[in-house]
Amino acid sequence: MTKEINGYVSDLPEGCITETDIFTETGVLLCPKMTLIDERLLHSLRAYKGKIHVTVTYMDIPVNTEIETDESLDFSESMKAYALENITTICANVDNPQVLTDSVTNMSNEISNVIHNSKSLGINLSKLKISDEYTYKHSVDVGTISGLIAAKMGESEQFIHDVTMAGILHDIGKEKIPLEIINKPDKLNDIEFKIIKMHPVYGYQILSQCHDISEEIRQGVLNHHENMDSSGYPRHLDMGKIGKMGQILAIADVFDALTTARPYKTAKTPAQSIEIMFSMMNKFNITIFKTFLDIVTAYPNGSTVHLNGGLAGTVIRQNKSYPLRPVVQVGNDIIDLSNDMRYLSTIIVE
Protein backbone atom coordinates (compact mmCIF):
# COMPACT_ATOMS: atom_id res chain seq x y z
CA MET A 1 0.00 0.00 0.00
CA THR A 2 1.31 3.46 -0.92
CA LYS A 3 0.57 6.55 1.10
CA GLU A 4 1.51 10.19 0.76
CA ILE A 5 2.24 11.84 4.08
CA ASN A 6 1.95 15.58 4.60
CA GLY A 7 2.43 15.79 8.30
CA TYR A 8 4.87 14.79 10.98
CA VAL A 9 7.32 11.99 11.75
CA SER A 10 4.69 10.53 14.07
CA ASP A 11 2.55 9.86 10.98
CA LEU A 12 5.15 7.44 9.55
CA PRO A 13 3.93 3.85 9.92
CA GLU A 14 6.57 1.63 11.53
CA GLY A 15 7.92 -0.84 8.95
CA CYS A 16 7.23 1.38 5.92
CA ILE A 17 9.75 2.06 3.12
CA THR A 18 10.31 5.64 1.90
CA GLU A 19 9.60 6.12 -1.81
CA THR A 20 10.95 9.70 -1.75
CA ASP A 21 13.59 11.57 0.27
CA ILE A 22 12.46 13.20 3.49
CA PHE A 23 13.66 16.76 4.01
CA THR A 24 13.27 19.11 6.96
CA GLU A 25 11.39 22.37 6.43
CA THR A 26 14.77 24.07 5.91
CA GLY A 27 15.79 21.58 3.20
CA VAL A 28 18.15 19.34 5.17
CA LEU A 29 17.98 15.66 4.17
CA LEU A 30 16.43 13.80 7.06
CA CYS A 31 16.14 10.36 5.49
CA PRO A 32 16.91 9.15 1.92
CA LYS A 33 14.41 7.29 -0.27
CA MET A 34 14.24 3.47 -0.12
CA THR A 35 14.90 3.43 3.62
CA LEU A 36 13.18 0.96 5.91
CA ILE A 37 11.64 2.94 8.77
CA ASP A 38 12.14 0.51 11.62
CA GLU A 39 11.49 1.15 15.30
CA ARG A 40 15.03 2.37 15.98
CA LEU A 41 15.12 4.82 13.09
CA LEU A 42 11.64 6.04 13.93
CA HIS A 43 12.82 6.75 17.45
CA SER A 44 15.70 8.97 16.29
CA LEU A 45 13.58 10.68 13.61
CA ARG A 46 11.14 11.75 16.30
CA ALA A 47 13.69 14.32 17.48
CA TYR A 48 12.58 16.34 14.46
CA LYS A 49 9.36 18.17 15.33
CA GLY A 50 8.74 20.00 12.05
CA LYS A 51 6.55 19.03 9.08
CA ILE A 52 7.56 16.43 6.49
CA HIS A 53 6.37 15.43 3.04
CA VAL A 54 7.05 11.87 1.86
CA THR A 55 5.55 8.95 -0.03
CA VAL A 56 5.87 5.57 1.65
CA THR A 57 4.86 1.98 0.97
CA TYR A 58 3.91 -0.45 3.67
CA MET A 59 2.09 -3.69 4.33
CA ASP A 60 -1.49 -3.01 5.32
CA ILE A 61 -1.56 -5.16 8.43
CA PRO A 62 -4.69 -4.55 10.47
CA VAL A 63 -3.87 -2.81 13.75
CA ASN A 64 -5.05 -4.51 16.88
CA THR A 65 -7.83 -2.29 18.15
CA GLU A 66 -9.08 -4.66 20.79
CA ILE A 67 -9.08 -3.30 24.29
CA GLU A 68 -6.39 -5.22 26.15
CA THR A 69 -7.49 -7.10 29.21
CA ASP A 70 -6.86 -5.10 32.34
CA GLU A 71 -4.57 -7.37 34.31
CA SER A 72 -4.32 -5.22 37.41
CA LEU A 73 -4.73 -6.87 40.76
CA ASP A 74 -8.32 -7.66 41.61
CA PHE A 75 -9.80 -8.59 44.99
CA SER A 76 -12.82 -10.90 45.11
CA GLU A 77 -15.85 -9.64 47.02
CA SER A 78 -15.22 -12.25 49.74
CA MET A 79 -11.61 -11.03 50.02
CA LYS A 80 -12.81 -7.44 50.42
CA ALA A 81 -15.28 -8.51 53.13
CA TYR A 82 -12.50 -10.46 54.87
CA ALA A 83 -10.14 -7.47 54.72
CA LEU A 84 -12.79 -5.14 56.10
CA GLU A 85 -13.53 -7.51 58.98
CA ASN A 86 -9.85 -7.86 59.84
CA ILE A 87 -8.99 -4.17 59.68
CA THR A 88 -11.96 -3.42 61.94
CA THR A 89 -10.59 -5.95 64.46
CA ILE A 90 -7.07 -4.47 64.15
CA CYS A 91 -8.21 -0.89 64.81
CA ALA A 92 -10.36 -1.99 67.75
CA ASN A 93 -7.51 -3.90 69.41
CA VAL A 94 -4.56 -1.54 69.60
CA ASP A 95 -4.30 -2.40 73.32
CA ASN A 96 -4.54 -6.14 72.72
CA PRO A 97 -1.24 -7.17 71.09
CA GLN A 98 -2.15 -10.80 70.47
CA VAL A 99 -5.47 -10.11 68.73
CA LEU A 100 -3.86 -7.30 66.72
CA THR A 101 -0.95 -9.52 65.66
CA ASP A 102 -3.20 -12.45 64.68
CA SER A 103 -5.55 -10.27 62.63
CA VAL A 104 -2.83 -8.39 60.77
CA THR A 105 -0.91 -11.61 60.10
CA ASN A 106 -4.00 -13.26 58.59
CA MET A 107 -4.71 -10.26 56.45
CA SER A 108 -1.12 -9.82 55.25
CA ASN A 109 -1.06 -13.53 54.34
CA GLU A 110 -4.22 -13.16 52.26
CA ILE A 111 -3.12 -9.99 50.45
CA SER A 112 0.42 -11.20 49.73
CA ASN A 113 -1.06 -14.48 48.42
CA VAL A 114 -3.26 -12.52 46.00
CA ILE A 115 -0.18 -10.53 44.89
CA HIS A 116 1.83 -13.74 44.52
CA ASN A 117 -0.88 -15.42 42.40
CA SER A 118 -1.70 -12.36 40.31
CA LYS A 119 -0.87 -12.68 36.58
CA SER A 120 0.33 -9.12 36.44
CA LEU A 121 1.45 -6.59 39.03
CA GLY A 122 -0.72 -3.56 38.48
CA ILE A 123 -2.83 -1.13 40.46
CA ASN A 124 -6.32 -0.11 39.47
CA LEU A 125 -7.76 1.70 42.47
CA SER A 126 -11.39 1.05 41.55
CA LYS A 127 -10.72 -2.68 41.89
CA LEU A 128 -9.10 -2.41 45.32
CA LYS A 129 -11.88 -0.44 46.95
CA ILE A 130 -13.17 -2.29 50.02
CA SER A 131 -15.00 0.48 51.83
CA ASP A 132 -15.82 4.18 51.67
CA GLU A 133 -14.59 4.55 55.23
CA TYR A 134 -11.20 6.22 55.03
CA THR A 135 -9.18 4.32 57.65
CA TYR A 136 -10.20 0.89 56.37
CA LYS A 137 -9.77 1.71 52.72
CA HIS A 138 -6.51 3.56 53.19
CA SER A 139 -4.92 0.84 55.34
CA VAL A 140 -5.73 -1.94 52.88
CA ASP A 141 -4.77 0.15 49.86
CA VAL A 142 -1.41 1.18 51.27
CA GLY A 143 -0.67 -2.42 52.30
CA THR A 144 -1.59 -3.72 48.85
CA ILE A 145 0.23 -1.01 46.88
CA SER A 146 3.34 -1.47 49.05
CA GLY A 147 3.25 -5.24 48.51
CA LEU A 148 2.87 -4.76 44.74
CA ILE A 149 5.82 -2.36 44.61
CA ALA A 150 7.99 -4.82 46.56
CA ALA A 151 6.95 -7.69 44.28
CA LYS A 152 7.80 -5.62 41.19
CA MET A 153 11.18 -4.81 42.78
CA GLY A 154 11.84 -8.55 42.97
CA GLU A 155 11.89 -8.67 46.77
CA SER A 156 11.56 -11.95 48.68
CA GLU A 157 8.16 -13.39 49.61
CA GLN A 158 8.93 -12.65 53.25
CA PHE A 159 9.66 -8.98 52.50
CA ILE A 160 6.50 -8.67 50.36
CA HIS A 161 4.49 -10.10 53.23
CA ASP A 162 6.15 -7.82 55.78
CA VAL A 163 5.83 -4.60 53.78
CA THR A 164 2.16 -5.45 53.18
CA MET A 165 1.77 -5.81 56.94
CA ALA A 166 3.59 -2.53 57.55
CA GLY A 167 1.29 -0.83 55.01
CA ILE A 168 -1.83 -2.15 56.74
CA LEU A 169 -0.47 -0.91 60.08
CA HIS A 170 1.20 2.33 58.95
CA ASP A 171 -1.42 4.66 60.48
CA ILE A 172 -2.32 2.47 63.47
CA GLY A 173 -0.95 5.24 65.74
CA LYS A 174 -3.88 7.45 64.70
CA GLU A 175 -6.02 5.31 66.99
CA LYS A 176 -4.31 7.25 69.82
CA ILE A 177 -5.15 10.68 68.33
CA PRO A 178 -8.46 12.34 69.37
CA LEU A 179 -11.15 11.80 66.72
CA GLU A 180 -12.03 15.51 66.64
CA ILE A 181 -8.52 16.16 65.26
CA ILE A 182 -8.56 13.19 62.85
CA ASN A 183 -11.95 14.15 61.40
CA LYS A 184 -11.62 17.94 61.61
CA PRO A 185 -12.98 19.35 58.33
CA ASP A 186 -11.01 22.63 58.65
CA LYS A 187 -7.29 23.28 58.51
CA LEU A 188 -5.47 22.02 61.61
CA ASN A 189 -3.90 24.63 63.91
CA ASP A 190 -0.23 24.34 64.92
CA ILE A 191 -0.91 22.39 68.11
CA GLU A 192 -3.27 19.95 66.39
CA PHE A 193 -0.74 19.46 63.62
CA LYS A 194 1.99 18.69 66.16
CA ILE A 195 -0.31 16.14 67.79
CA ILE A 196 -1.15 14.41 64.51
CA LYS A 197 2.55 14.27 63.59
CA MET A 198 3.02 12.02 66.61
CA HIS A 199 1.04 9.15 65.03
CA PRO A 200 4.12 7.33 63.61
CA VAL A 201 5.63 7.34 67.11
CA TYR A 202 2.39 6.05 68.67
CA GLY A 203 2.28 3.38 65.95
CA TYR A 204 5.80 2.27 66.83
CA GLN A 205 4.87 2.14 70.52
CA ILE A 206 1.73 0.05 69.86
CA LEU A 207 3.71 -2.41 67.72
CA SER A 208 6.51 -2.65 70.31
CA GLN A 209 4.00 -4.56 72.41
CA CYS A 210 3.48 -7.07 69.58
CA HIS A 211 6.49 -9.37 69.92
CA ASP A 212 5.79 -11.32 66.72
CA ILE A 213 5.94 -8.16 64.60
CA SER A 214 9.51 -7.51 63.49
CA GLU A 215 11.56 -4.41 64.26
CA GLU A 216 11.85 -3.75 60.51
CA ILE A 217 8.04 -3.49 60.26
CA ARG A 218 7.94 -1.20 63.33
CA GLN A 219 10.64 1.01 61.80
CA GLY A 220 8.72 1.12 58.50
CA VAL A 221 5.63 2.37 60.36
CA LEU A 222 7.75 4.90 62.30
CA ASN A 223 9.37 6.21 59.10
CA HIS A 224 6.44 6.34 56.66
CA HIS A 225 6.34 10.18 56.77
CA GLU A 226 10.11 10.65 56.48
CA ASN A 227 11.33 12.16 53.20
CA MET A 228 14.52 11.60 51.21
CA ASP A 229 15.30 15.36 51.43
CA SER A 230 15.07 15.20 55.26
CA SER A 231 11.88 17.32 55.28
CA GLY A 232 9.74 14.57 56.78
CA TYR A 233 8.65 13.77 60.33
CA PRO A 234 8.88 12.81 63.18
CA ARG A 235 12.69 12.63 63.09
CA HIS A 236 13.67 14.47 59.86
CA LEU A 237 15.83 11.49 58.92
CA ASP A 238 18.45 11.58 56.18
CA MET A 239 17.82 9.30 53.20
CA GLY A 240 20.36 6.74 54.39
CA LYS A 241 18.51 6.18 57.64
CA ILE A 242 14.91 5.80 56.46
CA GLY A 243 15.10 2.18 55.31
CA LYS A 244 13.56 0.48 52.29
CA MET A 245 10.28 -0.32 53.99
CA GLY A 246 9.66 3.29 55.05
CA GLN A 247 10.55 4.50 51.55
CA ILE A 248 8.04 2.15 49.91
CA LEU A 249 5.30 3.03 52.40
CA ALA A 250 5.88 6.76 51.82
CA ILE A 251 5.13 6.45 48.09
CA ALA A 252 2.11 4.18 48.58
CA ASP A 253 0.77 6.46 51.32
CA VAL A 254 1.09 9.72 49.34
CA PHE A 255 -0.53 8.18 46.23
CA ASP A 256 -3.44 6.71 48.17
CA ALA A 257 -3.94 9.87 50.25
CA LEU A 258 -4.12 11.99 47.08
CA THR A 259 -6.62 9.67 45.39
CA THR A 260 -8.92 9.52 48.41
CA ALA A 261 -11.54 12.10 49.45
CA ARG A 262 -11.36 13.46 53.00
CA PRO A 263 -13.67 15.83 54.91
CA TYR A 264 -11.37 18.73 53.95
CA LYS A 265 -10.50 17.81 50.32
CA THR A 266 -11.81 16.10 47.20
CA ALA A 267 -10.08 13.07 45.69
CA LYS A 268 -7.61 13.58 42.83
CA THR A 269 -7.70 11.18 39.89
CA PRO A 270 -4.80 8.70 39.67
CA ALA A 271 -3.40 10.75 36.76
CA GLN A 272 -3.57 14.04 38.68
CA SER A 273 -1.96 12.32 41.67
CA ILE A 274 0.94 11.03 39.59
CA GLU A 275 1.49 14.54 38.15
CA ILE A 276 1.61 15.92 41.71
CA MET A 277 4.00 13.17 42.78
CA PHE A 278 6.36 14.05 39.93
CA SER A 279 6.62 17.52 41.47
CA MET A 280 7.53 15.93 44.83
CA MET A 281 10.17 13.57 43.45
CA ASN A 282 12.97 14.84 45.69
CA LYS A 283 11.05 13.44 48.63
CA PHE A 284 10.99 9.88 47.25
CA ASN A 285 13.52 7.17 46.53
CA ILE A 286 13.71 7.59 42.74
CA THR A 287 14.26 3.89 41.99
CA ILE A 288 11.22 2.91 44.05
CA PHE A 289 9.18 5.73 42.50
CA LYS A 290 10.02 4.45 39.01
CA THR A 291 8.92 0.96 40.05
CA PHE A 292 5.68 2.45 41.34
CA LEU A 293 5.11 4.19 37.98
CA ASP A 294 5.61 0.85 36.31
CA ILE A 295 2.65 -0.72 38.07
CA VAL A 296 0.17 2.11 38.44
CA THR A 297 -2.67 2.47 35.94
CA ALA A 298 -3.60 6.12 35.57
CA TYR A 299 -6.08 5.54 32.75
CA PRO A 300 -7.49 2.00 32.93
CA ASN A 301 -8.12 0.16 29.64
CA GLY A 302 -11.63 0.89 28.41
CA SER A 303 -11.84 4.32 30.04
CA THR A 304 -12.83 7.38 28.01
CA VAL A 305 -10.34 10.20 27.69
CA HIS A 306 -10.54 13.68 26.21
CA LEU A 307 -7.56 14.83 24.20
CA ASN A 308 -6.68 18.45 23.60
CA GLY A 309 -8.59 19.66 20.55
CA GLY A 310 -11.85 18.19 21.83
CA LEU A 311 -11.36 14.61 20.61
CA ALA A 312 -12.74 11.79 22.74
CA GLY A 313 -11.19 8.33 22.67
CA THR A 314 -10.99 4.99 24.45
CA VAL A 315 -7.87 3.70 26.19
CA ILE A 316 -6.98 0.37 24.58
CA ARG A 317 -3.60 -0.41 26.13
CA GLN A 318 -0.93 0.91 28.46
CA ASN A 319 2.59 2.21 27.86
CA LYS A 320 4.33 0.74 30.87
CA SER A 321 7.06 3.38 31.10
CA TYR A 322 4.62 6.25 30.56
CA PRO A 323 1.58 5.72 32.80
CA LEU A 324 0.16 9.11 31.80
CA ARG A 325 0.45 8.33 28.06
CA PRO A 326 -1.62 5.26 27.11
CA VAL A 327 -2.60 4.12 23.59
CA VAL A 328 -5.99 5.53 22.64
CA GLN A 329 -8.47 4.71 19.87
CA VAL A 330 -10.24 7.73 18.37
CA GLY A 331 -12.68 6.59 15.69
CA ASN A 332 -10.57 4.40 13.40
CA ASP A 333 -7.29 6.01 14.48
CA ILE A 334 -4.95 4.47 17.00
CA ILE A 335 -3.01 7.18 18.82
CA ASP A 336 0.02 6.29 20.93
CA LEU A 337 0.20 9.23 23.32
CA SER A 338 3.77 8.35 24.33
CA ASN A 339 5.08 9.54 20.97
CA ASP A 340 2.35 11.55 19.28
CA MET A 341 3.36 15.20 19.50
CA ARG A 342 -0.12 16.45 18.64
CA TYR A 343 -1.51 15.51 22.03
CA LEU A 344 0.93 16.69 24.64
CA SER A 345 -1.50 18.44 26.95
CA THR A 346 -3.14 16.63 29.83
CA ILE A 347 -5.91 14.20 29.07
CA ILE A 348 -8.92 13.81 31.26
CA VAL A 349 -10.82 10.68 32.15
CA GLU A 350 -14.57 11.06 31.88
Q: How many residues bind Fe ion (CB under 5 A)?
A: 1
Least spacing, CB of residue 222 vs Fe ion, in Å: 11
Least spacing, CB of residue 199 vs Fe ion, in Å: 6
Q: How many CB atoms lie within 10 A of CB 349?
A: 15
Q: Which is nearer to Fe ion, 70 or 171 (CB)?
A: 171
Secondary structure of residue 29 in the 3-state scheme: strand
| CA 264/CA 184 separation, integer angstroms | 8
Q: Which is nearer to Fe ion, 87 or 307 (CB)?
A: 87
Least spacing, CB of residue 22 vs Fe ion, in Å: 55
**13, 58 contact by CB (below 8 A):** yes
Q: Which residue is nearest to Fe ion (CB)?
A: 171
Q: How many CB atoms lie within 10 A of CB 58?
A: 15
Q: Which is nearer to Fe ion, 254 or 271 (CB)?
A: 254
Q: Which is nearer to Fe ion, 288 or 328 (CB)?
A: 288
Least spacing, CB of residue 272 vs Fe ion, in Å: 21
Q: Which is nearer to Fe ion, 171 or 256 (CB)?
A: 171
For residue 175, give the DSSP letter. G
**224, 170 contact by CB (below 8 A):** yes
Least spacing, CB of residue 224 vs Fe ion, in Å: 6
Q: Which is nearer to Fe ion, 162 or 171 (CB)?
A: 171
Site string for Fe ion, 79-108 (x = CB under 5 A): ------------------------------
**171, 199 contact by CB (below 8 A):** yes
Q: Which is nearer to Fe ion, 171 or 175 (CB)?
A: 171
Let me know the angle formed at the C-alpha of 147 by 143 and 151, rounded to the nearest 5 degrees: 175
Site string for Fe ion, 160-199 (x = CB under 5 A): -----------x----------------------------
Q: 234: cis peptide before it, omega within 30°? A: yes
Least spacing, CB of residue 209 vs Fe ion, in Å: 19
Task: List Cα–Cα distances, 181 to 186, 188, 191, 243, 309, in angstroms.
Answer: 10, 8, 10, 29, 45
Q: Which is nearer to Fe ion, 122 or 232 (CB)?
A: 232
Least spacing, CB of residue 277 vs Fe ion, in Å: 16
Q: What are 6's strand-pairing partners?
A: 53
Least spacing, CB of residue 85 vs Fe ion, in Å: 23
**How is 263-290 classified by DSSP, letter by letter?**
TTBPPPPHHHHHHHHHTTGGGS-HHHHH
Rg (the chain; Cα; Å): 24
Interacting residues toward Fe ion by CB under 5 A: 171
